Each structure stands twice: as structure tokens, then as C-alpha cells.
């Protein structure tokens, strides 16, 4: 897939865009001389992989010099990193809400500061699952957004939260999460399909989200009674128990996620709508779509961003609807193939990393042109 500069890029940098059009024909982007420091959460965290690390090879191919570091522990190390920011054209702070001393020090040394977040970071979730407002996080969020030269987030809900705090609303950019399709080959539905005697319903996610599968206990148990060959595969660091459900547990490993997802015939994305999940972006949907899988998902904000009901997936709101939609997909391999094919097409057109890279390059160049 060729990489074409988007309209915003062409409007802001018409000469650069013309050059890029020629470069894109050869599959090359060129943004020389730009140095970016990415200060991330833990590098094995899903948000770090999806929102930062998967972009780095593509930025480097475009000529951007990238350094990605986890935000360190200890005040001395943090002050040292803040001071080093002056050696870079752009500092990209991922999700961290820093105390006043540190954000002011980082702001002082950074030539251009980007703040990126993909959750309602002002909320605090307890071990028991309860969610509450955090005045400290709210205060730090407002301060960080106010001093940043640009704010990047993943959906309109989070974008509106940022605009309320931003010095200038136009500094806030909504860049949905995307996926690197070069790693993904669509799941193949064999002639005749797996059929009701050998179908796998799958879910992949983190331990913190595993509880969402509790929603499906009853419908999955009923489906397992109806279809003897049906199994449910959970790819996660932790396990879950479901009476009456034929479960297969597979421990999550980053290097195996493509094969794990491609082992599903049908994917599910259950989620409860609440203040915590309202700001979520369901990156697992991108993985399912990239694998060409049909998806049944809860009808909540995080899933509506990607799913067009009945076209590239299904959204449901009741347990009866879960059972009905999954039953149809189990029984109809051709329906699985057609919906999965449209799911793959939707990420190719709208949510591939190739479509997102020009937006970031345009933003980096605009930030480099700011008065120092």
C-alpha cells in the first residue's frame, strides 16, 4: 500500500508534500534532521507498543532520529532526563502525569513538547475494580495539557477532555490507534469452514480486562451445549473459570500474538460502558480485523469507533443477542468469511499504520517550525 500525504500535510507543507508524493511512489518517506525523544510507560505495556513503539521503525525510515526510553524511577534520574530533552527537536511524553516540578523542568528544556494519552488518566481504578476521580491526577493532567505544544489522543471523548484544559484547543489532535498490517495475514476459512463441530471463539487481552469475559459465561455455556466441537480460547497472562465452557488457555506472549489471533474462527470483545471504559480504544479489535476475523462486540463507545454494525462486525447489548450472533457465525462459514473480509478491508483503508505516519510527520515538522 502506497503512503500518500494527507490533506492537512499538503495544506501545511505544500512543497514538502509534493516531494513526498514522489517519494511515496517509491515507498519512501524522508523527514531528515528531526530528532524525537519518546518518554514512555513500560515498554511491554500494550499502550506503549500500540501508541509508540510500532511507529518507531516507520519514523526512522522517514529519516526521523528516534530515541525511546521508559520514564525512569528516582528523582535524580528524572531530572537528568528532563535536562537531556534539550538535545531533541521534539519530546513525546506518553501518558505520564508528572508533578509540577518535573513537568515544568521538562517544559523548560524541551524545544517542543507533545503529550500523548489513550485513557481517562484522571481516574483511579482500585484493586476491587471501583473507579473514582483523583484530584491530583486531574490537576496534573490540566497542567500538562496546558503547557504542551501538542496533545495527541485516540478518540473524540478524550479529545474533548483535553480541549477543555488546553491553552489552545487546536493543539489537540485525535489520532486513532492503528495497526501495522505487514505483520498480519488474514485467517483462512477453509472450504466448508470449520463448521459447528470445530469452531474456536477467541479473546485476547490483559489481566486487567479479563473480567469483561464474565459477561459471556451464560451464553458461551449454552453455545457449548449446542455445539459439541465448540471451544473458547483465552489468550491472557491469567486464567478464568467458566462452568460449562470448553476453555483453552494460552499465556500471552508479544511475539506470538499474530498466530494466537489467527487461531480463532470468531473473536469477541465484551466490555461494560462506564467512565473508565468510555475513554478506551479497543486495540484488540484492530488485531481481530487485521486477521480477517468476524467480531461480536459489546455496543459501547470503545467499539463503535471501529465497527459498522452488520458490515465489518456485530454489536450486541443483551445476553440473548450474544448467543444469537455467535450461533449464526458458528453455523455459517461463509458469513464468517464475508464479515471477516470486510473487517480486514476497513483497517486497510482507515486504520493501517501507513495511513497514520503522514499525520505524525506533519505534526513533527510543524512543531520544529515553532519559534524557539
Give tens-digit pLDDT for 253-270. 988 999 999 999 999 999
Would 165 be classed as within a structural domain? Answer: yes
- Report the share of the chain in percent with pLDDT over 70: 88
- Report the share of the chain in percent with pLDDT over 90: 72
Would 1 be classed as within a structural domain? Answer: no
Domain span holding position 345: 182-350
Determine the pLDDT at residue 16: 38
Determine the pLDDT at residue 360: 96
Q: In whole angstroms, what is the distance from residue 246 CA to residue 240 CA?
A: 12
Q: Based on the fold, state whether residues 74 and 158 are members of the same structural domain.
A: yes
Q: Give the mean model confidence (pLDDT) for residues 291-297.
A: 97
Give the CATH number, domain containing residue 94. 3.40.50.2000
Determine the pLDDT at residue 197: 67
Nearest to 29 by CA among 354, 333, 269: 354
Residue 115, pLDDT > 90, answer: yes
Over the stretch 49-104, which tens digit does the pLDDT of each residue have? 999 999 999 999 999 999 999 999 999 999 999 999 999 999 999 999 999 999 99
Would 251 be classed as within a structural domain? Answer: yes
| HEC secondary structure over 131-146 | EEECHHHHHHHHHHHH
Residue 371, pLDDT > 50, answer: yes
Would 60 be classed as within a structural domain? Answer: yes
The whole-model pTM stands at 0.81
Q: In whole angstroms, what is the distance from residue 204 CA to residue 311 CA?
A: 22
Determine the pLDDT at residue 90: 97
Dihedrals phi, psi of 50, to nearest 5 degrees: -75, -35
Number of domains in the chain: 2
| 27 Rama sector, left if φ>0, alpha if ψ -120 to 50, beta otherwise | left
Q: Based on the fold, state whether residues 91 and 189 are members of the same structural domain.
A: no
Whether residue 300 contacts residue 272, with contact meaning beta carbons closer than 8 Å, is answered with yes
Nearest to 324 by CA among 300, 296, 284: 296
Determine the pLDDT at residue 36: 98
Over the stretch 118-136, which tens digit does the pLDDT of each residue have? 989 999 877 766 788 999 9
Residue 192, pLDDT > 60, answer: no
Q: Give the mean model confidence (pLDDT) for residues 348-370.
A: 93
Would 69 be classed as within a structural domain? Answer: yes
Amino acid at each position: 500500500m502506497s503512503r500518500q500525504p494527507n490533506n492537512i500535510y499538503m495544506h501545511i507543507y505544500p512543497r514538502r508534500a509534493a516531494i513526498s508524493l514522489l517519494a511515496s511512489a517509491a515507498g519512501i518517506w524522508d523527514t531528515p534532521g528531526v530528532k524525537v525523544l519518546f518518554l514512555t510507560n513500560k515498554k511491554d505495556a500494550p499502550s506503549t507498543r500500540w501508541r509508540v513503539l510500532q511507529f518507531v521503525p516507520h519514523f526512522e525510515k522517514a529519516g526521523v532520529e528516534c530515541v525511546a526510553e521508559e520514564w525512569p524511577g528516582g528523582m535524580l534520574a528524572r531530572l537528568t532526563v528532563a535536562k537531556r530533552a534539550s538535545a531533541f527537536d521534539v519530546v513525546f511524553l506518553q501518558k505520564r502525569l508528572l508533578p509540577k516540578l518535573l513537568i515544568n523542568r521538562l517544559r523548560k528544556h524541551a524545544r517542543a513538547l507533545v503529550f500523548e494519552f489513550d485513557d481517562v488518566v484522571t481516574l483511579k481504578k482500585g484493586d476491587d475494580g471501583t473507579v473514582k476521580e483523583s484530584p491530583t491526577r486531574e490537576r496534573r493532567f490540566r497542567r500538562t495539557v496546558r503547557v504542551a505544544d501538542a496533545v495527541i489522543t485516540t478518540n473524540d471523548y478524550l479529545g474533548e477532555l483535553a480541549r477543555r484544559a488546553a491553552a489552545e484547543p487546536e493543539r489537540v489532535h485525535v489520532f486513532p490507534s492503528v495497526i501495522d498490517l505487514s505483520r498480519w495475514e488474514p485467517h483462512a476459512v477453509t472450504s466448508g469452514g470449520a463448521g459447528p463441530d470445530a469452531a474456536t471463539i477467541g479473546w485476547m487481552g490483559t489481566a486487567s480486562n479479563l473480567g469483561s469475559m464474565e459477561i459471556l459465561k451464560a451464553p458461551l455455556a449454552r453455545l457449548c451445549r449446542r455445539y459439541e466441537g465448540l471451544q473458547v480460547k483465552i489468550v491472557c497472562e491469567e486464567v478464568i473459570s467458566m462452568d460449562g465452557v470448553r476453555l483453552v488457555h494460552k499465556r500471552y506472549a508479544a511475539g506470538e500474538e499474530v498466530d494466537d489471533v489467527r487461531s480463532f474462527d470468531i473473536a469477541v470483545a465484551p466490555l461494560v460502558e462506564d467512565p473508565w471504559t468510555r475513554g478506551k480504544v479497543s486495540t484488540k479489535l484492530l488485531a481481530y480485523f487485521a486477521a480477517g476475523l468476524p467480531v461480536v462486540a459489546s455496543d459501547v463507545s470503545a467499539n463503535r469507533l471501529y465497527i459498522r454494525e452488520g458490515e465489518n462486525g456485530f454489536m450486541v447489548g443483551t445476553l440473548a443477542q450474544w448467543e444469537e450472533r455467535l450461533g449464526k457465525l458458528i453455523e455459517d462459514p461463509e458469513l464468517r468469511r464475508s464479515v471477516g473480509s470486510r473487517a480486514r478491508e476497513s483497517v486497510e483503508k482507515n486504520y493501517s499504520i501507513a495511513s497514520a505516519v503522514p499525520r505524525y510527520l506533519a505534526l513533527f515538522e510543524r512543531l520544529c517550525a515553532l519559534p524557539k
